[in-house]
Copies of this chain bind each other. A is one copy, B any other.
């Protein structure tokens, strides 16, 4: 057998969504549950044979994305969803054996790409109330730290990290020549950002995605913003054509119809408020969230509830075996009607589980 790299041998696999999710109520991966703007679909239907056959071009997308976030083309690199952005950052700025700091529990792919790089990962737990462990993160930064990743709002906890906290971390990291990645995949929902600071600091990268609010998870397109020095390193070392030309067409159309995403998010925020109130009524504990998902604590029945929901074609993410999230499920938020459907099924299942327990 050929020699397998040590870091790869030791990597823990990521646990991706199961297949056959179409037609189901997908509250498990924080996708847009309605789909993208009809203008995006129309733009794809108008794609020409040449769009399929020619190597993709990204200059226009970089310009239009830059415009949409008040930056310059030189501050933008488009990536094959957030994944490629994270992986490229690791490849550029993390030496094998050096440290990456993560506040956990968080998005599994941070840990995954750090392991693939062969980095030493320092995991710092969120506080018990799922608030952000500011002091512990600040204390952990040292000259051997190559990267710190902040997911804001954090997935899966929904925690918002305060701007002033992020700035403190960036500044301490800058003193240590350490890069800070702020993953703002859920910016459309949360509306808090540090993207305005990428030219102020030499070590800040902000990730944004079209997978969530804009409803383009299938099309694998996101972007990183940073100062032009960091972007030029990323451009030099990235795959030259990692994003499909059809995804570029979709994003250009999506940027012309931001109202669609805004309206969808308005609906999600109403649905989230309504859902959290209902959880309060049925006395299931939830945690504060700034995202289109939330953590609910079901206790020892969490896994069985997730399984029974799946049987009803409602998909949620069982996180009950994560540190701090014992007995918890992460639940995505869709439209109000979708959440009513979810709640009706959930209530039935809760009764069912109670009844089954009383029989034992």
Contact = CB atoms under 8 A, between A and B. Distances in A.
A54 B146 contact: no
A188 interface: no
Given A34-B49, A55-B16, A94 B5 contact: yes
Contact of A52 (B11, B35, B146): B35
Given A20-B57, A203-B2, A218-B52, A242 B93 contact: no
Interface of A is mostly: loop
B56 A218 contact: yes
Identify the interface centre among A11, A13, A219: most chain B CB within 10 Å of its CB: A219
Contacts of A179: 2
State the oligomeric state as a number of copies.
Answer: 2
A297 interface: no
A320 interface: no
Contact of A215 (B45, B53, B236): B53
A314 to B, nearest CB: 15
Interface stretch (A79-87, A161-169, A302-310): A79-87
A166 B91 CA distance: 32
A172 B337 CA distance: 63
Given A80-B80, A243-B220, A202 B2 contact: yes
With most chain B CB atoms within 10 A of its CB, the pick from A4, A26, A178 is A4
Interface stretch (A126-134, A245-253, A341-349): A245-253
A219 B236 contact: no
A36 interface: yes
A83 B35 contact: no
A84 B244 contact: no
Interface in A53-71: 53-57, 59
Given A59-B19, A177-B2, A233-B4, A53 B41 contact: no
A357 interface: no
Interface string A236-274: 110111111111001000000000000000000000000
B4 A92 contact: yes
Nearest to A243: B220
Most buried by B among A1, A2, A26: A2
Interface of A: 1-6, 8, 11, 13-14, 16-17, 19-23, 26, 29, 31-36, 40-41, 44-45, 47-57, 59, 80-81, 83-84, 87, 91-96, 109, 116, 146, 177-179, 202-203, 215-220, 229-230, 233, 236-237, 239-247, 250
The 9 A-B residue pairs with the shortest CB-CB distance, nearest first, are A35-B49, A218-B245, A16-B240, A83-B239, A53-B215, A2-B179, A244-B244, A35-B53, A19-B57
Given A4-B233, A35-B49, 20 more contacts: A2-B202, A5-B91, A5-B94, A13-B236, A16-B55, A17-B55, A19-B57, A21-B54, A31-B55, A32-B53, A34-B49, A41-B47, A41-B52, A44-B47, A45-B45, A56-B218, A84-B239, A109-B239, A220-B243, A246-B247
